[in-house]
Chains A and B, each alone.
Chain A
């Protein structure tokens, strides 16, 4: 005789128990012992190992793919990967990135190809570390590091400029501006065909 429109009862099966004429368990007694169980939980937790990390003194490594501070990468010869396309800035939901592109010249070349990022700023008061900028970047110029200690005491200090974000020069990398490797085009760079150590 179940009416399909009868609301679902939340009486923990008491209706069914009543229908089946079964004795109903004493819920009070149950909950009383359940409460005592709670006391045991807190008591035994006191003797467990604590989860606290003594942070400024002890630092634990982050997860491998933790979204930390950004980094502007370079090709193996030191030229910048950023081409100033502003796709990262457009992808940013928090409007934290400002990019101003400029044309490379033969005398002053910062990246392979036509354009480079002249101004590159990320405002870490706005950034939400979502990583959409990294997804948007067509040359893998922009990636994220695991560095998370970004707090500072003025607003100006947490707007990172291009020189703060650029990856440091590794051995064999040459500080731009310098010309592209002889006989190579920006497509070779993109494909990873240009190796470092031009002078050596």
Chain B
């Protein structure tokens, strides 16, 4: 029986139980990840992190949540009241919804019923996740707009521009997965990674996805929407109490969600590490959940590691990176993957496939050499241009006087 058939036979109450379980897991994951992030970042800075509330400070996030709930709930006078209240609700609900199609385990028995830990399996599962993520952006845009204040508006604009831009790169990186798995259903994609995980066979896609998922979740080093030094708190500057807590929750659930999606699409989902396949039958199949969570935790650690290491990017550099590097790169990569796929499906001789691959590699090498030499020439011309700077003290402007005449004159002057 396929996964979708298995899920199709679920009685209603099993679906309810699954939904509840997923919700509980998400909220718990948020609490744990807030704690985990603070502890890990602290370690990276040779500190201890929160260790007061409960054993090892485990209850810290819960205590913070209670504190937030007890705070005064302010709505600014200039705010659009209805939208202001609606925005955090949109954010917090959409972030949970993408978990509906994430397969958390292989075949298990739940209350004597054979099923999988996946709420539903739809043929366009991953598209559904992307769509939900886009709806989540509304939470950010509306929060920024309805606050009736400058910083939140700017922060909201930045966040939404960022999320939308990186969603393009993210969507493109997924195309290669769809081509290779031959399906958009998450269960089928996991099944297609029985032998080789897509992070190996589609490594460039994996890299693009890994970068864009950090951009997508507004996390460091791409957290310019909440750049404390520039925009106070970004889109949620004016939010307090439970509404702020909802945004906070949404951010962390989103991190877990993109990590879970990355696990599903590139790291073989609930499958065990290669060579440890026998563990998948342990605990009546429930051990697969542990494999899945381990991989999610791995991604979460990467998130924290990035935050602990890299400084924040400048906004224009960040957008440039998204539009001028990631998107063209993934477009070219998709073309290559698609061609290879078609060639192999059409039963093209091995020589053609190898020839095509060699051609691509040669083209890439030639292209990068050209780009590099152009860059070197530009640097040299900049440097030569600076020698002929005006004879009174003004700051040198690199690249302002790089015409050929200037260079020739300079060379003559220098002998």
Chain A residues packing against B (C-beta within 8 Å):
1, 3, 5-7, 9-11, 14-15, 17-19, 24, 26, 28, 35, 38-39, 41-43, 45-46, 48-52
Q: Do A18 and B392 touch (CB < 8 A)?
A: no
- Taking the nearest CB of chain B, how far is it from the CB of A57, in angstroms? 11
* CB proximity to A under 8 Å, residues B167-200: none
- Count: A-B pairs, CB below 8 Å: 75
Given A6-B393, A7-B394, A14-B380, 4 further pairs, Cβ under 8 A: A14-B379, A24-B379, A26-B376, A35-B310
B314–chain A nearest beta-carbon distance, Å:
15
Kindly list chain B residues whose C-beta atoms are within 8 Å of the C-beta of A1. Answer: 413-414
CA distance A125 to B308 in the complex (A): 37
Interface of chain B: mostly helix, strand, loop or mixed: helix
B43 near A45: Cβ-Cβ < 8 Å: yes
For residues 276 through 318 of chain B, which have their beta carbon under 8 Å from a beta carbon of chain A?
305, 308-310
Q: Is the pair A50, B48 in contact by a Cβ cutoff of 8 Å?
A: yes
Q: Give Cα distance in the complex from A9 to B386, angstroms.
A: 8
Determine how close the nearest CB of chain B comes to the CB of A200; give it in whole angstroms: 52
B308 A42 Cβ-Cβ under 8 A:
yes
- Chain A residue at minimum C-beta to C-beta distance from B380: A18
| Neighbour of B309 across the interface among A5, A11, A26, A38, CB < 8 A | A38
Query: Which one, A5, A11, A24, A28, contacts B393 given CB within 8 A?
Result: A5
Interface range on chain B (Cβ under 8 Å from partner) = 20 to 34
Within the complex, what minimum Cβ distance (angstroms) separates B73 from chain A?
29
Residues of B within 8 A of A11 (CB): 382-383, 386, 396, 398
Q: Name the distance in Å between A15's Cβ and chain B's nearest Cβ.
A: 5
Question: What are 10 A-B pairs with beta-carbon distances under 8 A?
Answer: A7-B389, A7-B394, A9-B386, A11-B386, A18-B383, A19-B414, A42-B309, A45-B45, A46-B40, A51-B46
Residues in B20-78 with C-beta less than 8 Å from chain A: 40, 42-48
Q: Which residues of B contact A45 (CB under 8 A)?
A: 43-46
Name the CB-closest residue of B to A47: B43
The docked-state distance in angstroms from the alpha carbon of A173 to that of B375 is 84
B367 CB to closest chain A CB, in angstroms?
A: 15
Contact B398 A39 (CB under 8 A): no
**A18 and B396 contact, Cβ closer than 8 Å, known pairs A38-B309, A45-B46, A51-B46:** no
For B398, list chain A residues within 8 Å (CB).
11
A89-B321 Cα distance, complex, nearest whole Å:
62
Q: Separation in Å of the B412 CB from the closest CB of chain A? A: 10
